[in-house]
Structure 1
Amino acid sequence: MNLQQYHTVTTINGAKLPPSRARISVFDNALLCAEGLFETLLAVEDRVVFLKEHLDRLHKGAKVVGLKVPPDRRTLSAWLTTTAEMHPDRIKKLRLTVTSGESARWTGKQGPPQVIVSASPHCLPEKPLKLLVSDLRVDQRSVFRSIKTVSYAMNTIAQKRAIQRGFDDALLLNHSDKVAETTSANIYWTVRGTVFTTPLATGCLEGTTRKHVFRKARQLGLPIVEKTVSLSMLLKADEIFLSSSLKLVAGVDQIMYGRKRSSFKVGDITRLLSEQFRRFIHV
Structure 2
Amino acid sequence: MYIYLNGVIVHQSEASISPFDHGYLYGLGVFETFRTYGGHPFLLKDHLSRLKKGLKALNIEWDIKEAEIKKIVSTLLRNNGWEDAYCRLNVSGGPGEIGLQTAPYEDATTILFQKELPPSRPLREKEGVFLRLRRSTPEIDERLKSHHYLNNLAAKREIGPSHDREGIFLTGGGHICEGITSNIFWIKEGAIYTPSIETGLLNGITRQFILAMAKSLQMPVHEGLYRESDLESASEVFFTNSVQEVVPVNRIGNRTFEGREGRFVRLLHEHYQKYVTYLDSIEEMKEGNAHATND
Report TM bin, short chain. Answer: 0.7 to 0.9
One-letter code aligned to 2:170: L
Describe the superposition over 1:61-112 as per-residue Cα deviations: whole angstroms up to 9, x where unpaired.
0111111125344433432343344332332100110011112128xxx772
Q: Tell me, yes or no, if structure 1 residue 218 matches structure 2 residue 211.
A: no
Match of 1:156 among 129, 133, 153: 153
Match of 1:241 among 238, 250, 254: 238
**Displacement, 1:161?**
3.1
- TM-score, normalization by structure 2: 0.84
**Displacement, 1:225?**
1.2
One-letter code aligned to 1:192: E
Q: Distance in 2 between matches of 1:75 and 1:165?
A: 37
| Correspondence list, 1:106-255, <5 A | 112-123=107-118, 124=121, 126-140=123-137, 142-143=139-140, 145-164=142-161, 167-255=164-252
1:268 corresponding residue in structure 2: 263
1:54 corresponding residue in structure 2: 47
2:72 corresponding residue in structure 1: 79
**Displacement, 1:271?**
0.7
Tell me the matched-pair count. 271
Q: Distance in 1 between matches of 2:122 and 2:170?
A: 24
Contact 2:55 2:61 in 1 (8 A): yes
Q: Distance in 2 between matches of 1:11 and 1:141?
A: 29
One-letter code aligned to 1:21: E
One-letter code aligned to 1:60: K
**Displacement, 1:141?**
5.8
Contact 1:125 1:250 in 2 (8 A): no
- SS of 1:275's equivalent? helix
- TM-score, normalization by structure 1: 0.87
Q: Distance in 1 between matches of 2:117 and 2:160?
A: 18
One-letter code aligned to 1:269: F
Q: Distance in 2 between matches of 1:141 and 1:51?
A: 24
1:3 corresponding residue in structure 2: none
Contact 1:99 1:113 in 2 (8 A): yes
Q: Distance in 2 between matches of 1:111 and 1:92?
A: 30
Unmatched runs of 5 consecutive residues or more in structure 2: 100-104, 279-295
One-letter code aligned to 1:262: R
Contact 1:87 1:120 in 2 (8 A): no
Q: Distance in 2 between matches of 1:227 and 1:170?
A: 20
* CA-based RMSD: 2.4
Over 6 Å off, 4+ runs:
none
Contact 1:102 1:112 in 2 (8 A): yes
Describe the superposition over 1:31-88 as per-residue Cα deviations: whole angstroms up to 9, x where unpaired.
1111111111111132101000000100110111111125344433432343344332
**Displacement, 1:213?**
1.0
Match of 1:279 among 263, 270, 274: 274
Contact 2:82 2:116 in 1 (8 A): yes
One-letter code aligned to 1:114: T
Q: Distance in 2 between matches of 1:50 and 1:37?
A: 18
Q: Distance in 2 between matches of 1:114 and 1:70?
A: 12
Unmatched runs of 5 consecutive residues or more in structure 1: 1-7
Q: After the TM superposition, which of the residue ranges 49-58 and 270-279 deviates more from structure 2?
A: 270-279
Q: Distance in 2 between matches of 1:144 and 1:29?
A: 21
**Displacement, 1:167?**
4.3
Contact 2:61 2:107 in 1 (8 A): no
Identity of aligned residues (%): 25
